[in-house]
Chain A
């Protein structure tokens, strides 16, 4: 089983296409939609987690590329700037996935990129601008 978290950008000509359906049905992939957005310019952005056999995953990603969908790894999009973080813990209660947690003994915060769904809730909350999300 392989797993990939990716951000897809769809040009306007593709936004009415049932692309996730094909990923599931034709490539036998489990698609977990983390976020989706269609911008006023009619550009689609979809953040998904794909899991399945390594060969199916590669074939699915190839299908997306051939269609003209831009595929970027999600990991590039979220950054916790540790040197800016003061461990003020303000972002902790707002994070829905517990990607940001506190060691209550040391009162220090840590960020687990794997759990982050890039919902951006913590971004305006952080007084130090220590979390950057480029989505």
Chain B
């Protein structure tokens, strides 16, 4: 883990506990491609969006104090996500949201948006995330995984970093 990612956007609205209500933190990572497995790194194609590189990583969180523990013990119902219309609002650059739901609701398979029942799918894989977490846990238990000292902390809420929209300029 070398730095924050290009879409790192820490200063978004947060809940009382400090959990972001929309996409916020991203990471820049370095790894040796030749040692990677297609189990965790895969070229993907998302209809209507484009090609993507889908990466599954495991990040150990050392529990050094109560504050870290509190943040690591967040439950699905405490994590919120905005409901965005990708057919109209998003491609036109409107920040309008249709509502807010939590991850427990999303994982149940249906959410209610403006009185309507809408089925949900995840896109990122919980099954794979659990698999990675178990592998990492095993490495740590066997003493095969070590932490390095951080060089510098990631930019946080006080950094002043904000997200810049890339507006499409029509060709006249």
Name the residue of chain A whose CB is nearest to the CB of B126.
Answer: A107
Which A residues from 81 to 128 make CB contacts under 8 A with B? 86-94, 102, 104, 106-109, 124-125, 127-128
A: residues with CB less than 8 A from B are 86-94, 102, 104, 106-109, 124-125, 127-129
CB closest chain-B residue, reference A84? B42
1/0 contact trace for B34-69 toward A, CB 8 Å?
A: 000000001011110000101010000000000000
Q: Which of B107, B108, B124, B125 has the most CB of A within 10 A?
A: B125
Convert B1-43 into 0s and 1s, putting 1 for each residue whose CB lies closer than 8 angstroms to a CB of A.
0000000000000000000000000000000000000000010
Are A90 and B122 in contact, with the CB atoms below 8 A? yes
CB distance from A112 to the nearest CB of B (A): 17
Among B45, B52, B109, B128, point to the contact of A104 (Cβ < 8 A): B109
Q: Is the CB of B44 within 8 A of A90?
A: no
Q: B115: CB under 8 A from chain A?
A: no
* Closest beta carbon of chain A to B112's beta carbon, Å: 14
How would residues 96 to 128 of chain B score, 1 for a CB under 8 Å from any chain A CB and 0 otherwise?
Answer: 000000000001110000000001111111111
CB pair B109–A108 under 8 Å, yes or no, is no
- Considering the complex, give the chain B residue whose CB is closest to the CB of A91: B121
A26 to chain B, nearest CB (A): 43
Smallest CB separation, B106 vs chain A (Å): 10
A86 in contact with B107 (CB, 8 Å)? no
Q: How far is the CB of B79 from chain A (nearest CB, A)?
A: 15
Majority SS at the chain A contact face: loop
Q: Which B residues contact A (CB, under 8 angstroms)?
A: 42, 44-47, 52, 54, 56, 107-109, 119-128, 130
Which residues of B lie under 8 Å from residue A91 when comparing CB positions? Answer: 121
The distance in angstroms between the C-alpha atoms of A123 and B46, with both chains bound, is 11
Check B46–A107 contact: CB distance below 8 A: no
Alpha-carbon gap, A104 to B108, bound state (A): 7
Instruction: Contact check, A106 vs B119: say whether CB atoms are below 8 A apart.
Output: no
Known contacts: A87-B127, A87-B128, A108-B127. The answer to whether A93 contacts B44 by CB under 8 A is no
Query: Who on chain A is nearest to B51 by CB?
Result: A127
The answer on a CB contact under 8 Å between A89 and B54 is no
Most A CB atoms within 10 A — which of B52, B108, B109? B109
Q: Are B52 and A88 in contact (CB-based, < 8 A)?
A: no
Given known A93-B120, A102-B109, A104-B109, contact A86–B127 (CB-CB < 8 A): yes
